Amino acid sequence: MDLHGMLMQISLIGVIISTIVAITAAEAAQAKPGCDYMCGDVKIPFPFGLTDGCYLNRNFHITCENNVTAKTGGLTVKSISIEDHELRVLNFVARRCYNKTGGLVDGIKTSFKTPRYTISNTKNKFTVVGCDTYAYLTGTQKGENYSIGCMSLCNSLLNVVNGSCSGVGCCEVEVPDGLKYIKIKVRSYDNHIDVWGFNPCGYAFVAEQGQFDFNSAYLKNLTYKNLPMVLEWAIGKETCEKAAQNKTAFACKRNSYCQDLETTSGYRCKCEQGYQGNPYLPDGCQDINECEDPNLNSCTIAKNCVNTPGSYSCRCPKWHHGSGRKDGEGCEANLLLLFKIAIGIGISFITMLVGSTWLYLIVKKRKLISLKEKFFKQNGGLILEQLRRQEGSTETTKIFTEEELQKATNNYNESRIIGQGGFGTVYKGVLPNTRVVAIKKSKTIDQSQIQQFINEVFVLSQINHRNVVKLLGCCLETPVPLLVYEFITNDTLFKHLHHKSNTSVMLWQIRLKIAAETAEALAYLHSEASTPIIHRDVKSTNILLDDKYTAKVSDFGASKLVPLDQTQLATMVQGTLGYLDPEYLLTSQLTEKSDVYSFGVVLVELLTGEEALSFSRSEQERSVAMHFLCSLKEERLFDVLDDHIVEEGNKEQLKEVAELAKSCLRVKGEERPTMKDVAMELAGIRKMEMHPWVDVGGTLEETENLLGETSGAYKHSSSSKTTGYDSMNNHELLALGDGR
């Protein structure tokens, strides 16, 4: 170590030693000069003392057992306060214990008697613990007997609340003021016979507030033998006026004043304002240097503070006059020149401030405009505008400004959130024309796929199907683009099927209607849209319902646009557990049959009323689709169907839809029907309901003549399509919960 390092260490050690010496000196100054001031870790300030000549009188004698434990009147002293005139002592806990037949096992009474101390009524509480316990506290107050009681009952531990002493297992009351003698007795109504298994004893004690925290375990065994109690002390029995007549015996020394007590005899000494220390020692109250601590003085200029005995004064700088205090008139300049200079400086400063603020706002505004233009270009705004001009459509895809959507969502207030998930957050917004919309704020976007993302936005905005949530436009002025959809009012199919808060039960015809409309929407996306679209995340949370229970397919954050010259493509596996196509999961080859499988799971949800995947169910029933197929194979279909729809009596329809769901859930995609076939089949099943004269048990030929080519048309279909890119990057397996 070099010389400089050694000097630094020596200096640091010196500072530490000086601090320790200063603290020790301050503690020693509280005791009478030449007297011991410590017993163990308890400081003994005057008028208390350990040996003859070191205390004011015998009432303040503290014994020190084994040079470790401070005691007064048999009580262990934990601390003594001169400023608050208090002692903290350890007080015994009274108890009374019984055996299971009600016989008394042992008991301890406690009493406290001393003419020199008063039990603090503001710092202590009388507490009783037990389930068949009451206790008395008797004492003397102003020379007369005084009694209070507290009762604690409970039949079991069920109603006992930890930390609560309201009468169940524990009760507490305030201690009256002025008590110098107390006796505590613990009693029981039924000798704890009914509660002996968990509460064989009753306890009572006076303890300092905050030092006892009730716990139900204490009913079995209260581990405390004693607890802290606060005592108040005073000098003698005389008033200040009478005690001051005998100047030699008067305890209040220089720079202190005397204070009478209201509820007990004697007086106390306090240091006068501006002084601190021990008022019972001749030079105990020392002047406080207010100038050393800015919190103790109100001088307008700290360096102009002047300490005086018991106070301080504040000076004003040259050419100024006044009190120099913040709470007074302060300091005022004497010369008009100084006033003019100050005015000139102030005007110059304000001019500079206004000018710099104006320049800052202009620069900030230009930067903001530049940043928005950067985001607009970065997010494909120019590409979108070019597509709109090429298609001759200027209104299909509206481009919103950032300010419009901030205002619509009240600056994206949390109260406007209607959905959150892996892809981002959906907010409810109100446009200036009062139209309610859903605004999707995604988490990230892959900059390498901006062209594909813009193509997807453009195509989706042109989809106009009554069962597909309409994409109204987007905002490209933000780091991540925002999408604006029409707002659907009646929440998701998932919540209607699975949330307990829904008091109404969804009828089978409504479920069948939702299934048929959802199938029509997916068939439209697969077969009739200008660019075929695979949704890739079909599930009940992405099927929204309006007030008439019309189904609306939503959340195209995971969707894929399908080039017309391709049928399948390797993609990153994405979707929601419980709905994922097992073939897609194994091969990563996405086709439109993946949507068919997911739709099959939705059909099973509609039939059973159970969630697609629930880890609260047994392993065999965890996947509702697998459990459904197993039950169907074992001819136990009606055991797994929702009781409400079975009771409606549409058993033939239920069987038809169950078989359709089974075909959608086939492991091999080529064996599943197309969504168009599924939609036609569901439409046919609905027609059966609308024409009750159809004989379901009749010939297949009659049924086909009535329904057209609907039933069975899917059995040999294997057409499939897929996509060529991901429009949104950083997808997660669990998709956004509410796709509006």
Exposed / middle / buried, residue 331 (Cβ in 10 Å: 0-12, 13-18, 19+): buried
- Asked whether the bond before 532 is cis by omega within 30 degrees of 0, the reply is no
Nearest to 429 by CA among 393, 463, 475: 475
Residue 24: C-alpha distances to residues 33, 41, 557 (Å): 13, 13, 72
Angle, CA of 226, 159 and 207, to the nearest 5° = 20
Ramachandran sector of residue 559 (left: φ over 0; alpha: ψ -120 to 50; beta: rest): beta
- Long-range Cβ contacts of 323-329 (<8 Å, 24+ apart): 324/299, 324/300, 325/298, 325/299, 325/300, 326/298, 326/299, 326/300, 327/298, 328/298
Burial class (CB in 10 A: 0-12, 13-18, 19+), 115: exposed
Burial class of residue 651 in the structure, from the number of CB atoms within 10 Å of its CB (0-12 exposed, 13-18 middle, 19+ buried): middle
Backbone angles phi, psi at 488, to 5 degrees: -105, 130
Annotated catalytic residue within 132, 287, 537, 555:
537
Q: Are 686 and 511 in contact (CB under 8 A)?
A: no
User: Could you tell me which of 463, 530, 449 has the C-alpha nearest to residue 725?
Assistant: 449
By three-state DSSP, how is residue 605 classified? helix
Chain length of the chain = 740
Residues 634 and 628: their CA atoms lie apart, in Å, by 10
Residue 322 forms beta bridges with which residues?
Answer: 331
Measured between alpha carbons, how far is 456 from 222 in angstroms, rounded to an integer?
72
Q: Which residues contact 216 (CB under 8 A, 6 or more apart)?
A: 157, 160, 162, 169
Our CA angle for 115, 121, 125, nearest 5°, is: 115
The pair phi, psi for residue 555, each rounded to 5°, is 60, 85
Q: Which residue from 598, 596, 463, 457 is spatially nearest to 528, judged by alpha carbons? A: 463
537 among known catalytic residues: yes
Tokens of 409: 């969502």
Tokens of 217: 């375990």
605: phi > 0 → left, psi -120 to 50 → alpha, else beta; which?
alpha
Nearest CA among 468, 307, 304, 476 for reference residue 378:
476
**DSSP conformational letter for 526:** I
Determine how β-strand 42-43 pairs with β-strand 38-39: antiparallel
Active-site annotation, residues = 537
